[in-house]
Structure 1
Amino acid sequence: MSQGVCKVAVLISGSGSNLQALLDASANAGADFSVCAVISNKPEAFGLKRATEAGVPTSVVDHRNFSGRENFDQALIAEIDSHQPDLVVLAGFMRILTPEFVRHYSGRLLNIHPSLLPKYQGLHTHQRALEAGDSEHGVTVHFVTEELDGGPPIVQAAVPIKEGDTPESLAKRVQVQEHVIYPMAVTWFAQGRLKMLTDRSQLDGELLPLSGARIDS
């Protein structure tokens, strides 16, 4: 990692609520990281406006302009690397990344997923938790590996499922916790406390549980 404050590039596809949480955290006095770039695959993503208002450089690498995932990812790598980030953070980035991309940023690529992994990899997690009759649901920050939503968990926040919950009401409560634990995990990385081993996350020199650190709301 470069000396000084950790430089973070954030990839988005949509509204950027987790991006906003990161921007807010990085604006705090004494913050250990700064957002050096926000990159979207969609020019209409509202998160680009959030970044501009925060004075953060933005760019668009539109996947529709490329013939395949490999060409898109190569262009994305070039754009990210032009900002020389220490960490790359996926914040609602709705593209499946190629193994080449993931290997390029191995150990410094984070994602947030709205479930208590390894439960409910992929989409529609809130609906699936309700249909399964689960008593709790939540969100996981994890390192990204070549397995979709399968990298080593770093931290999870659980929320109880209430009687009468809908996917929308559950998603709102989960999102509150997303905005807490994503800046937390990025700060741990920025402080040099968090590392990825082959299949586990390590915090302060200790292996984290297979599900990561746990926070109950």
Structure 2
Amino acid sequence: MKSTIITSLLALAFTAGLNAQSVLRVRGSDTLGAKLVPQWAEQFKKQGGGVSFDIAAEGSSTAFTNLAAGTAEIGMSSRKVKDDERTFAKTKGVFLTEHEVAWDMIAVVVNKNNPVTNLTKKQIAGIFTGAIKDWSEVGGTPGPISVYTRNTSSGTYKDWQSLAMKGKDYAPAARRWLATSRSCPKRLATPVASVTWASPTLMAKASKRSPLMAPPPPLRT
């Protein structure tokens, strides 16, 4: 089944004037911090880098709060820094510089036993905003739709809201995952009525571990 994806910009934000030190604290996005940045850190050390890394991936928003508080030297974010975050950091004597390091993708994901195989952009927006509440409204088996999303500290949470929902609020009944996107496969593995969004890379790996994970349904205009 072909996957149609939406791209989302990833960035790293660095504090200015890092002093030489033995440990660099890295805070922020799970999209970057779950696997990619730890791999980079390990490779850096193998090449003779003289520092170690303390990495905590708890959502993009935590990158900027930690940078401003002086509890991180490097911030990971799956979105651009907001004006108020940049301004607040300046009040603390921290000047942020963003570096684009990668692109990720976002896909709609359903339980493998769900008969729905494609959705329009309008249907996707309706599902995640709560305007569409039952699978029968999009050609599926009658039953309430269980929407799962990341928590509000996630940069991708806002990206999806902008890209797929035209900035509208998530459905009041939408359930939040834990801080890490790695909890997504477990959330979808049991309820057949579940739907969420996630990185296709994560879902491809999850499908090998769980027979209940389906490839993202194609997107129709």
> Structure 1 length as normaliser, TM-score?
0.28
> Structure 2 length as normaliser, TM-score?
0.28
Where relative contact order (Cα < 8 A, 6+ residues apart) is larger, the structure is 2
Q: Which one has the largest radius of gyration? A: 2
